[in-house]
Chain A
Amino acid sequence: MAAGYMKKAIPGIVFFLFLTTMPFWGFSARETIAAEPVKIGFHASVTKIAVEMGQAALGAQMAAEEINAAGGILGRPIDLIIYDDQCTPSLAAAAAHRMLEKDNVFVATGGTCSGCAIAAGPILNDEKVPYFAAAVLSPVVSVPLKKYVFQIPFTSDAEAPVLLEFARKTYGPKTVAILQRGGAYGKSVTDAIVKFLPDFPEMKLLTVVDYPETATDFSSHLLKLKSLNPNVVFTAGTLVADGIPILRQAAGLNYKPNWVCDLGIADDHVRQEVKKAMDGIYCAWGMAGSDWDTSQNQTILNYRKKFREKFKPTDPMEPSQTPGWGYTAIYFIKYLVEKVGGFDREKIVAEAEKVTDWAGPGLMVRLTYSPSKHYHGNLFVKHYLPDGWEEALQRTPSGDWKVIDKAKRY
């Protein structure tokens, strides 16, 4: 009888349970379906000059897709809003205003030209929106310190001592010169070289030859360098578009200095474009994702594999240069949000301030520059060899430069 009673009662119990738990089902379902996306603003030079740096946007997109496929950040999908700043500070400023006023972004990142990050940073800082400059080197972006502005890669102040140290070890120069591209990036590299030159008293700076961003004929600049005949010529801020004619025109003038280039020219793109023009030159190299010293990390290997499959980069040694910066930025934001357990800007900024080195899913973030850390572990020098080969050199603790990788680039 009891069994018969229970039998009759079961539908009632089920109905009761359905009614009482339904609100919770509803809430959780609504949360899954309609979780409000977290808006992340991203600005980069997707067109016009420095477009190769704008590839950071590809990396950012890839990271956002991966994170969204895995459930988002604390259950909220990323809505990545990309603006093309065309490497023009006024457009970057306009993008920052739009991110604030129209998009109401939670955080912002991007910035692939120093001048653009310098323009956008203070606008976002004033509105207390955290901004992680993804792919710029000028220390002016974050100095003087702005509470809500961070730089993900190292700055020119970290790169310059590496360039000088490498030049000293390789060429033992008595005289050096700088060929500087106009704009904030070139100026930051020159300023940094000049700043650290007193640490290398045997080197004398003969001249700084600067050229405008729109220059196509470099003959008088190259002849000035040729007439002074410095032992080493550093390029500062030279990008792909100007790097190709500079190297070709120098060859045409039969001028073959010991080039030590900053990393603006050392892009995937350049190697494919100039090929033989690059033979014999050295470039600084190394940024998020290019850490050979941690390359055994499975997540790094996974990232590189995924990146190669998605974007088919031309560089046989490193698939992650500039896109790696964008990729890193998005994952770093995810890390911060999850670390503080919510979408609280103040807590995120406080957490970011604590970070010096951060190893994310395959990539490294170096957020804080300090004078005691000039020689970052992830700064390398690439040597472009004849017949399409290139090798990567890393500074050892004893101060020598050791070849750690070699590959054929074309």
Chain B
Amino acid sequence: MPIFFDVVITGIGAGVLYGLVGLAFVLVLKTTNVVNFFQGDTCAFGAYFTVIFATLLHLSLPLAVAAAIVCSIGLTVLLELVGLRPMYRVSIIQVVIGTVALSMIMRYLIRLCWGPQVVPFPDLFKDIPLNITGVPLGSATLWMMIIATLSVAGFAIFFQYTRWGIALRACCQDRSSASLMGIPVGAMMSLAWGLSGAMGAIVGIAGAHMISVYPDMGIIGLKGFVASILGGANSIPGAVVGGILLGVLENLSGFYISFAFRDLIAFIIMIGVLVIKPSGLLGKQVVRKV
């Protein structure tokens, strides 16, 4: 029993990471109808920018993290503006394909600038340790859980109660009508991409301690995508719930069935959800009047 508890708890730890990436997927999807396949790479932006500011420019760690998040937001918005925005006129499929291309380009650029090797990452949580007796989770994972909870609450409030959040939702439902109502659609889209960049950077920074910093670290984006499908592609809490569920199922299947099965489970779940309940666990079926 204690080992089962350990497996579930550590699965939650990994799942929170997937959930936060999934949340960033949902943010973009909810507001622009685009599945952003370079979401995982925004995690790499955050981690690499932190390394630049903390170890090369010798900023204090909190300042380095803040600067890294700001730079990641800027870079994500810039990439969307330059690389994707012109494609919206053609079709959403074009934009989605564009995100795949951007992902590849960013990975190669990182490789070009930093080389392919693992880059040392500062010990983020050494000054603010957080340990709970009996819980087999490191300080970093516990902090991730706090960040996830705050993020879900924050975004829920943002979308439900703020003018900008409501404007973003309006843009998603009907961009033309939103524009006619005086909502600056372009700025709103940049805001959505910026928020996803911020989310990715936070995951990258917090996760780098555990999964290392290297050009292909954005591969975690795939798990985040599955988490968002599992939880409901238009549900913010659903993404986090989906991520946690995915992490736990992965860990249980790896532990009790086969390690080879562990990575397979994510994609089996994704296919299963798409077939049985396409709207995901907490997502709502979108009905369009025609």
**Is A370 on the interface with B (CB-CB < 8 A)?**
no
Contact for B140 among A219, A240, A241, A252, CB less than 8 A: A252
Closest to B11 in A: A219
Query: Is A252's CB under 8 angstroms from B117's CB?
Result: no
Near A by CB (< 8 A), chain B positions 261-286 give: 262-263
Near A by CB (< 8 A), chain B positions 204-262 give: 209-212, 214, 217, 219-220, 250-252, 254-255, 259-260, 262
Query: Is A212's CB under 8 angstroms from B263's CB?
Result: yes
A223→B255 CA distance, assembly (Å): 8
Query: Is B250's CB under 8 angstroms from A220's CB?
Result: yes
Query: Is A252's CB under 8 angstroms from B6's CB?
Result: no
Mark the stretch among A2-10, A59-67, A243-251, A335-343 that contacts chain B.
Answer: A243-251
**Is A221 on the interface with B (CB-CB < 8 A)?**
yes
Near B by CB (< 8 A), chain A positions 170-212 give: 209-212
Closest to A272 in B: B120
Q: How many residues of A contact B (CB 8 A)?
A: 33
Near A by CB (< 8 A), chain B positions 10-25 give: 10-11, 13-14
Smallest beta-carbon distance A2→chain B, Å: 79
Query: Is B118's CB under 8 angstroms from A244's CB?
Result: yes
Query: Is A241's CB under 8 angstroms from B212's CB?
Result: yes
Closest to B119 in A: A273
**Is B154 on the interface with A (CB-CB < 8 A)?**
no
**Is A295 on the interface with B (CB-CB < 8 A)?**
no
**Is B116 on the interface with A (CB-CB < 8 A)?**
yes
Q: A210-B259, A216-B211, A245-B211 are in contact. Are A253 and B219 (CB under 8 A)?
A: no
**Is A20 on the interface with B (CB-CB < 8 A)?**
no
Smallest beta-carbon distance A239→chain B, Å: 9
Mark the stretch among A47-55, A120-128, A151-159 that contacts chain B.
Answer: A47-55
A interface footprint on B172-212 (CB within 8 Å = 1, 0 otherwise): 00000000000000000000000000000000000001111
Query: Is A227's CB under 8 angstroms from B138's CB?
Result: no
Which residues of B are in contact with A by a Cβ distance under 8 Å? 3, 6-7, 10-11, 13-14, 111, 115-118, 120, 136-141, 209-212, 214, 217, 219-220, 250-252, 254-255, 259-260, 262-263
Which residues of A are in contact with B by a Cβ distance under 8 Å? 47-49, 51-52, 209-212, 214-217, 219-221, 223-224, 226-227, 240-241, 244-245, 248-249, 251-254, 269, 272-273
Seed contacts A47-B115, A252-B139; 13 additional CB < 8 Å A-B pairs: A52-B117, A216-B212, A217-B211, A217-B250, A220-B11, A221-B254, A221-B259, A223-B7, A226-B6, A244-B118, A244-B212, A252-B136, A269-B118
